[in-house]
Structure 1
Amino acid sequence: MSVPRRLALASVPADFADWLDYAAIVALLAFGWNEGPFALALFALALTLPYILVGPFLAVIVDRAPTRAVLVLSNLGRAIVTLSFAFASDTALLLALVFVRGAVDSAFTPGRQAAIQASTPEHLRGVANGLHQAINQTSKIAGPALGGILLAFLAPQQVFMLNALLSLIAAGIALTVFLPPRTESAAERGKFFTESLVGISEFRRKRPLLVALIFSACAYFAFFLYDALLALLAGELGFDATAFGLSISASGLGGLIGALMAGRVSGARPMLTMSSAAIISGGTTATVSLAASYGWPVPLPLFLLVLCFMGGATAFMLVPYRTVIQAEAPADRIARVYAAGEAVITLTMLSAPLIGSFVAERFGTPVAFLAGGLLLIVLGAVTLASRGDA
């Protein structure tokens, strides 16, 4: 089996390990320990903050260490921390452990990007990124659902133990991933904090990287303006809870199909793919918002088809970004470049749900979707006009 295939195979249990116990943690907090919205909000922060606060610094070590060792040790670390979930006795400890696991995971993802760069020919990197995005998308859809099913038979602590086993399996597969040794510039080594800034300085130095980062940060912001409001929009279109559940599945399916397709078509001109997808997705989102605003009848099959299409278009914006990173970032600093970009994107999108909810409260739910759609259209048009093709 080739190295890229082994890497993809290792990503299956690794990505599922990120999401399998999501439902178990929420169930334990809400139903086991009777926690309320504040604890669940802290849980969301514990999931995301490591990629801002820890990832850019840990990436210095990722760039220095052998990539295979990073993949193996990060999965072993996740297994140990996940297993410790089963022995957490209160909310504070559990959330602290969730943060620690996120910090460990913030090393795995940049390490995987370095492994794809080192093991995949340049003309096939788009395909590889599409495949890994499809694996990640599948885990986000199936992981929490499978975790919820397991809770019918197992206690949350048992789900945590099962999830720890997934990370162990991922570590075992990663152990078989043999990568060519990478060169490192000894002159670059200096103070740890200074080296952690190398990633963000690379974006300033190379225009294609900067354009891709600004685009991705704005796109994520636009998505999260309305992402959490989908249930409310479905209600305004006259659909019930069952239809809402189907809409989530349709969006996830579209993202999965789109990831596989985007990887095949975005390798040559990633920024053209991203900007075109933004215009199309933004136009579709704006149209759906207008339908809800003016009471236009939308049959359920059409609504599901639109959500599937929107999910697919989103993948066409997200997959090429990683291709640009792998094409433009030097091999001895790709982890820091990727981690810095991920920190900027995560920080940008954290404010979007709050702004979207404010817009929805003040002007109505469809307006939040309209704002996100128009932002995507403008983003795509400006990127096209800038001719920042990577």
Structure 2
Amino acid sequence: MTVISNEPNPSSISSNGSSKSLWTNFRFMRMFIAYALATFGDWFDALAIQVMVAYRWGADPLIIALIPVCMAVPGILLGSVAGVLADRLHKVKIMMLCDVITVLLTIAILFAPSAGWLLPLLALRAMMGVFHIPAQQALTRQVVAEAHLFQASSLNGFVNQCSKVAGPLLGAVILAVFSPQVCIIINACTRLVSGAVLWPLRRLTEKLEPSASDGIPSEAAGTTESLFTQWQKGWRFIYSSRTLLSTILFGCFGLMAILMIDYQFTTLFREIKPGNEALIGWLGSSAGAGAVVIILLLNRLPRIGYGWGLGGGYLLIGAGIAALGWVSSQTSEFWVIIWGLCIGLGNGLFMVTLNYLLQKETPPAYVGRVFGIQNSLSSVVLVVAPLAGGALIQVVGPSPTFQYIGIATLVIGIAGIVLQRILWVGKQPHQAESTGENQQEPVRQA
């Protein structure tokens, strides 16, 4: 339905919308660099903000606990709407606008006098990410040839995991030498550069193809359909696709289990190894390293089976979490690093497969909506799961909670592998029949 054309006519993209190599697809490489800068910046000042709130302002634990909640609420309220806008509006302009507003909000955070000002600013900044992600994923689906989608998902996952490790690590170094404010300024600069990298793509235009849909020319349909109608079609498309529906539900169940203990590793280590405060850092670094290793391996493959990727990822994560639940004060730190690697391997395997599946099984006209809805549901889990996990730890204690949650996650992973033919193999509904919209044609030159 929608065709992207580019006036500069880059030589790396052939007339059928594909390039010989992903590395010579200059549209994707610009998006990739911008995404890397934005992701690195987000993780770079995460530690600085926590230090500023906890140590410089002396905020109580409730205020600290509200930080992830405030950052998740925009996704719950606006995730699916952001997906609709990504499918309706110019995607590059959405991303650039989000980068500019993020810069302004980050500078405002720098001058926030108290937590009462900081929390709303963090929520607004998180809102920009809610609008940015569906636009970025939808544009990726259009500018990347289908044969390169898995590699593109692997590269994005690689950057995300590296940023989780390198961002806080370098942020901690800057924090030790300078101050939290310097980290926040660096984040603002990375976002500014991210927008500048996207600037040459502003000439990408979207034109409606004169194909019919429900007896109405797509050009007329595209201009007359309301935001609410397209929002409904997004939900209806997911409901009609067994692969997408199974994936999102499977992902939410597993994510619920994982996030119940995601913020409780410090609680566990405080109980079993109270004198080793650096252990949480070793765990985080080993998990990040595991994710990077598996993503580098996956990047050499053309694709991966959905059941093995999603189910296998949860199996490894569950095994690592359960094993940490059996760690005692006499256990060597070496095993904590090993179980962290196991969790990281599972996390990288799951996230790459998830993003690839959502891209591959969704027509370009619906990518923004699918990722927006998935982000909205994940945000709900992000708020509910930590509260449930904290309550469970209060009742049974940290170690048993990790054992129970780890075993539950492992069982979910095994179920995904065993039932993969039921969950992810089957004929998909025809797009025109199930949604009333035709699939977009590949990217081509004007």
1:53 pairs with 2:96:
no
Please tell me the residue identity of whatever aligns with 1:121. A
Q: Per-residue deviation at 1:343?
A: 0.9
Hey, what's the Cα distance between the residues in 2 that align with 1:48 and 1:261?
31
Separation in 1, partners of 2:51, 2:266: 21
2:265 and 2:287 map into 1 onto residues whose CA distance is 11
Residues 1-390 of structure 1 mapped to structure 2, 5 A cutoff: 2-177=26-201, 181=206, 183=208, 185=218, 186-187=220-221, 189-234=224-269, 238=273, 240-265=276-301, 267-289=303-325, 291-292=326-327, 298-383=331-416, 384-387=418-421, 388-389=423-424
| CA displacement, residues 282-310 of structure 1 (integer Å, 9 cap, x when unaligned) | 23433443x33xx5964322321221122
| Cα deviation code 1:284-338 (max 9, x no counterpart) | 433443x33xx59643223212211221112111221111111122212211110
- Per-residue CA deviations over 1:6-54 (Å, capped at 9, x if unaligned) read 2211111111221222223223323333321222122222221111112
% identical equivalent positions: 24
DSSP 3-state at the match of 1:240: coil
> What are the superposed Cα offsets for residues 153-176 of structure 1, whole Å, 9 maximum, x if unpaired?
444444333321111100111123
Structure-1 separation of matches of 2:315 and 2:144: 30
Could you list the per-position Cα deviations for residues 252-277 of structure 1 after superposition, in whole angstroms to 9, with x for gaps in the alignment?
21122223334444824223321123
1:194/1:39 Cα in 2 relative to 1: closer, same or farther (>3 Å)? farther
Task: Report deviation, 1:348.
Answer: 1.9
Cα pair 1:15 1:136 within 8 Å, conserved: yes
CA gap of 1:39–1:229, structure 2 versus 1, over 3 A, is closer
CA pair 265-152 structure 1, distance change in 2 beyond 3 A? same
In 2, Cα distance between equivalents of 1:258 and 1:314: 9
Secondary structure of the corresponding residue to residue 34 of structure 1: coil
Per residue, is there more helix in 1 or in 2?
A: 1
The question of whether the paired residues in 2 share the 8 Å contact of 1:274 and 1:380 is answered with yes
TM-score (norm 1): 0.90
Moved more, 371-380 or 45-54: 371-380
Moved more, 193-202 or 116-125: 193-202
Separation of aligned partners in 1, 2:67 and 2:320: 32
Distance 1:242 1:164, change over 3 A: closer
Mark the runs of 5 or more structure 1 residues left unpaired by the alignment.
none
Counterpart AA for 2:288: G
88-97 or 126-135, which deviates more: 88-97
**CA deviation map 1:225-275 (0-9, x unaligned):** 222222343455547222332122111211222233344448242233211
> CA 1:296 to 1:187, structure 2 compared with 1: closer, same or farther past 3 Å?
same
Alpha-carbon RMSD:
2.5
Measure the CA separation in 2 of the matches of 1:198 and 1:146.
44
Shift of 1:204: 0.4
Q: Once structures 1 and 2 are overlaid, which stretch shifts more, 233-242 or 367-376? A: 233-242
Aligned-pair CA distance for 1:64: 1.5
Residues 283, 160 of structure 1: alpha-carbon distance in 2 compared, 3 angstrom cutoff = closer
* Secondary structure at the counterpart of residue 329 of structure 1: coil
Residue 367 of structure 1 and its aligned partner are, at CA, apart by 1.9
Superposed displacement of residue 376, structure 1: 2.0
Instruction: Determine if contact 2:38/2:191 at 8 Å carries over to the other structure.
Output: yes
Deviation at 1:386, TM superposition (A): 4.9
State which drifts further: 171-180 or 161-170. 171-180
- Cα pair distance change 1:57/1:37, threshold 3 Å: same
Alignment check: 8 A CA contact 2:99 2:191 kept = yes
**Is the alpha carbon distance of 1:244 and 1:43 closer, same or farther for their aligned partners in structure 2, counting shifts above 3 Å?**
closer
> What are the ranges of 5 or more consecutive residues in structure 2 without an aligned counterpart?
1-23, 210-217, 426-446
Q: Retained in 2: the 8 A contact 1:79–1:164?
A: yes
Matches of 1:357 and 1:266, distance apart in 2? 41
* Alignment CA distance shift 1:148-1:207 (3 Å): same
Cα deviation 1:135-187 (Å, max 9, x = unaligned):
11222222233333323344444433332111110011112347574647442
Q: Report if aligned partners of 2:252, 2:377 keep a CA contact under 8 Å in 1.
A: yes
Task: Kindly provide the amino acid, as one letter, of the partner of residue 226 in structure 1.
Answer: I
Q: Alignment partner of 1:88: what SS?
A: coil
2:367 partner letter: I
Q: TM-score, normalised by structure 2?
A: 0.79
TM-aligned CA distance change 1:262 to 1:220, over 3 Å: farther
2:81, 2:231 within 8 Å by CA — same for their partners in 1?
Answer: yes
Whether contact under 8 Å (2:306, 2:420) holds in the other structure is no
- Of stretches 48-57 and 357-366 in structure 1, the one that deviates more from structure 2 is 357-366
